[in-house]
Amino acid sequence: MFNDSDIRTLGRRYFFILNATTEVINLESKNSGHFWRLVAKERRILLYHASAEDGPFHVREGFDSIESALRKIKKYDKGQLKRWSLVDNKLCHNYNRPNEFVYD
């Protein structure tokens, strides 16, 4: 189950927190614009991913801690942004801020 401390761990600088309960947290990455769902289930955190807010969501994997799940999201975003390519050493596509990456 998630608590207030878990939600503070998320860091509003990197994510939009769309909603949060004791069992589910829905996030949007400010870097990729992709959507993530963290589900607390039996001492594990299941991580779901969708490219659009209305889904469909698919499970990525399970983690022992919220910090591990967040590292996975940030690693995914980094790879996604690399695939979107670089132009003149600047990111040419970023969901919220062209030419800028949000570091956390």
| Domain spans of the chain, in order of start | 4-91
Question: Which residue, 35, 24, 16, is CA-closest to 77?
Answer: 35
Q: What is the pTM of this model?
A: 0.77
Q: What is the mean pLDDT of residues 61-83?
A: 87
Residue 87: pLDDT over 70: no
Amino acid (1-letter code) at residue 72: K
For residue 50, name the pLDDT band (cuts at 50, 70, 90). Answer: very high
For residue 42, name the pLDDT band (cuts at 50, 70, 90). Answer: confident
